[in-house]
Structure 1
Amino acid sequence: MPGADMVVFPVDCVDHDSMNMLKRVCERGHIAWHPLRTASVASFIELIGRLNADAQTNTQSRGAPRFCLRHG
């Protein structure tokens, strides 16, 4: 998992102990983790849509990108 950008797992297919261990490992490695309600394509698409909406909101709230007039 050291090279992972994010971990996605369905909570209906993973037992509680494994889920808690996975969360701890992700938190230690500063890896984003996202539980899915079910192991279905619909749940995965919902997560991707939510992450996309969050990314767009964060981009819009920052405004124009800042850069140094001297160095570009």
Structure 2
Amino acid sequence: MQTDVREVLDRSSMTPSARGIQVATDGPVIVLRGAVKDEDEARLIEGMVRLTPGVREVRNELQFPAVTQP
């Protein structure tokens, strides 16, 4: 399943940061680690992974820069 998730992320043209994402498994859980540009991209990547056949649970540990208000 880890390979399937990696292939989904590598094929995505909507998420430029996806190639740098580490995909691991913790039992039946897919764990996503790495840096993305923002929270929206982190959610999009998680959503793509959740739609991958066979994936039942995702732990999203993706990091993105904090947004500061002026």
Scaled by the length of structure 1, the TM-score of the pair is 0.29
Larger CA Rg, structure 1 vs 2: 1
Question: Which has the larger share of helix?
Answer: 1
Scaled by the length of structure 2, the TM-score of the pair is 0.30
Question: Which has the larger share of strand?
Answer: 2
